[in-house]
């Protein structure tokens, strides 16, 4: 699975690097290492890898009793018949279901790695990093408002609701609910 992770990272990463034009090169390098590690760790925690398929028990060779008549057709058109009586041993068979399970596991692993990469990229962008192709300069410096303080945690801002979107108050209790409420008080609930 480690080789798969490296292969996906190389394919998805290409020849790009993360840049922060608002930082000097030494500070940017140090902060890139920190932010990359934190974003990668957060993505790995958010998207687990799939569980490998269970290992199938090795099938013991099966022994079969064989008996019957045979017919052989020779190269010159002659027909020979005979009688066969004995045993045959089959050495483990091919399980097509096993191949399907392994293929599904491989695909789920690829999907998880791609999702992790997307989350890590979003985290880096959120911290103010810009992905730049090798040898190019970033188009513009990121907005300072997008860069959270070091060590801060992310929180999703609460949506602002207009009067028409605000939740409606609960309706008054029905007579049955009111009677139950009174009854439960007498029962000590």
Residue-wise pLDDT for 77-121, tens only, equals: 888 888 888 887 776 666 667 778 888 999 999 999 999 999 999
Residue span of the structural domain in which 36 resides: 2-54+107-146
Is residue 12 situated within a structural domain? yes
Average pLDDT over residues 115-130: 94
Q: Is 161 helix (H, G, I), strand (E, B) or coil?
A: coil
Report which of 43, 47, 6 is spatially closest to residue 120, judged by C-alpha positions.
Answer: 43
CA distance 6 to 113: 10
Total domains present in the chain: 1
Terminal C-alpha separation, the chain: 56
Is residue 62 situated within a structural domain? no
pLDDT of residue 156: 46
Average pLDDT over all residues of the chain = 74
Is residue 116 situated within a structural domain? yes
Report which of 18, 14, 64, 42 is spatially closest to residue 154, judged by C-alpha positions.
Answer: 42
DSSP 2-60: HHHHHHHHHHHHTTEEEE-TTS-HHHHHHHHHHHHHHHHHHHHHHSPPPPPPPPPPPPP
CA distance 165 to 161: 6
Is residue 42 situated within a structural domain? yes
Is residue 16 situated within a structural domain? yes
């Amino acid at each position: 699975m480690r080789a798969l992770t490296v292969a996906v990272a190389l394919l998805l990463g290409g020849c790009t690097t993360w840049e922060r034009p608002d930082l000097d090169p030494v500070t940017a390098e140090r902060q890139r290492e920190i932010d990359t590690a934190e974003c990668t760790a957060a993505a790995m925690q958010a998207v687990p890898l799939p569980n490998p398929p269970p290992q199938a028990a090795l099938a013991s060779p099966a022994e079969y009793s064989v008996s019957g008549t045979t017919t052989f057709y020779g190269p010159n058109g002659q027909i020979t018949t005979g009688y066969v009586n004995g045993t045959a041993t089959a050495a483990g068979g091919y399980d097509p279901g096993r191949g399907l399970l392994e293929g599904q596991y491989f695909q789920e692993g690829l999907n998880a790695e791609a999702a992790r990469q997307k989350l890590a990229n979003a985290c880096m962008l959120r911290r103010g990093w810009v992905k730049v192709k090798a040898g190019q300069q970033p188009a513009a410096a990121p907005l300072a408002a997008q860069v959270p303080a070091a060590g801060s945690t992310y929180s999703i801002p609460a949506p602002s609701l207009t009067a028409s979107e605000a939740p409606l108050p609960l309706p008054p209790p029905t007579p049955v609910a009111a009677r139950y409420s009174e009854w439960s008080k007498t029962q000590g609930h």
